[in-house]
Structure formats: C-alpha cells, structure tokens
Homo-oligomer: A and B are copies of this chain.
Amino acid sequence: MSPSKITVFAPGLIGGSVALACSHFFPQAKLAIWTRRPESLPRIRTALPKAEVGTDPGLARSSDLVVLATPPTALPDLVRSILPHLSPSSMVTDVSSVKESVEENIAPLLKDKARWIGSHPMAGSEDSGLSAARAGLFQNAPVILTPTASTSAATLKDATSFWIALGARVISMSPQIHDDQVARISHLPHFLAAALVLAAGKGPLPLAGPGYRDTTRVAAGPARLWAEILLQNRRGVLSAIREFRSATDNLFAALENGDAQSLEKILDEAAGIRRTLPPLS
C-alpha cells in the first residue's frame, strides 16, 4: 500500500511514533494529526512540522489510512465523530493492546463505512507521550493484526504492508487468540512487575542491580492506561494469573521442602524456554 493521505488520531507514544515513522517512510503522503487537546497543538507542530494538525475530526477527510491511537475506551466516541469523513475505501486501524472488546465495539460502527482491521504494535516502553515517540519504534517490533471473518484479503494485505513499511514483523491471529496470548506475554508481566515492586518495597532499592531493574521496568508505566488495558482483557489476564499461580505453587513447594532436585528441574525448564527466544536483532 502506498497511501496518499494518512491521519493519525492522538499522537502519544505509539500514535506519535506512527506519525513520525509515516513522515519518514511515506514522505510523499499527506499527513494529518488530530489531538483532543488544543494545548498540545504547538508541541505536535514542532515535532511534525509538515503535518496538518488540529482538533477537528474532519482532518480524516480523504485519508486512505486512519490510525486511531487513543486508549481503547475512547475509541467508540472517536469513531462516531470521524464516520462522516470516511469513505468505504479508507482503511481504519487502531493500536490498542486489547482486541476482542475493540473488535466488538468498533467493527459494527465501521461496517460498510470503511475498511476496518485491528492492529496491536507490541512496542513502547515505560515512557509515554509524544516526547518519547520516535520514528524507529517499530523496527523489528512484532505487530499483531486481528482480522476476522468480515475482513477482506485486500485489507489484511494493505495493513500488513503498511506495518512492514514501518519496520515491523507482522503476525495475524483472531482477536480472541490475540487477547489470550497477549495476556500471557504482556499483561501478566506488567501485573507481576507491579506486584513485585510493591512486595520488594522501597527499603532495598539502593541494592537494585540489573535483575531487579529489568524485571520491574514496565511497572513504571502509566497506571491509568495499564488499569484500562488489564480491565479490558480481564478474562485473559485472570486466566494467565491463575496459570502463574500454579507455576509459583510448584516452585514454592520445592523451595519450602528444600528439594534441590525439583527446584533445579523447574528452573532449568524455565531457562530452556527463555533461551529459545532469539535475541532482538
């Protein structure tokens, strides 16, 4: 896909990085940036001097690609506000890290009005906001597309080539499978990092080495956003936590019983799985 106009709604860390990457990888395309907050306009203009910037949803007019980067709970109202400005050939995607509820809320609104497909770029950091955004954020990052029975092959193909152009590794799966898998690989780690910070407390922080730092890094992320993500994927996260608890029960028992052999066997199994993860190139 070679879009002639791209509109990005809500340029925070992810949306802002999409905008910067579009301006880098699609230099011929017109770029429009919408923000809810008038006070953000000057900063956006400084970061993206060539883009058309404003607070009017009509900015989306004649876009062949619209990227919605608000938190998931804000999506339905946002989509309603841009509906009049979309054409059936416009492709609309989001960047939410939950997909089943977004699909349920958004797909019906956009049916026959635009070409909708959910996206979840698994990039980002504990930082947030446009100041943390960068054009290279998606290099080698996994981006999950969540087509459903109503998604056309052309839409899936266009969304795939868009994210590949931004440097991503694209994977497709259903919204349900996405939510289950992401609960394990992203939401559960966040949940545990927060619990670990609270359990460790402030006392030993001067001793923190790279282990504690890495293990807890994500816990510094924005609390409101993460509360929303966890709640939106509540079913998946609760089920992942239950699996986590049974994994800790086995480890806890081996430790409590002083069973060196079982403890080493369990740790070795974990090390074996972790080592199959190829290093980021």
Contacts of A263 in B (CB 8 A): 227, 230-231
Stretch among A3-11, A59-67, A145-153, A242-250 lining the B interface? A242-250
Contacting pair A274 B223 (CB below 8 A): no
Copies of this chain in its oligomeric complex: 2
Chain A residue total in the interface (Cβ 8 A): 88
In the complex, besides A123-B210, A124-B210, A227-B263, 20 extra interface pairs with C-beta distance below 8 angstroms are: A122-B209, A184-B200, A184-B201, A184-B203, A185-B205, A185-B207, A185-B211, A186-B207, A186-B211, A188-B200, A189-B211, A192-B248, A193-B215, A194-B270, A198-B269, A199-B246, A202-B273, A210-B280, A217-B274, A231-B263
Partner of A188, one of B144, B199, B227, B280: B199
15 CB contacts below 8 A, A to B, read: A142-B208, A188-B199, A189-B215, A192-B215, A192-B248, A197-B273, A215-B216, A215-B218, A219-B267, A227-B260, A227-B264, A231-B255, A234-B258, A237-B255, A238-B256
Known: A202-B276, A214-B214, A255-B237. A207 touches B230 (CB 8 A): no
Contacts of A203 in B (CB 8 A): 181, 184
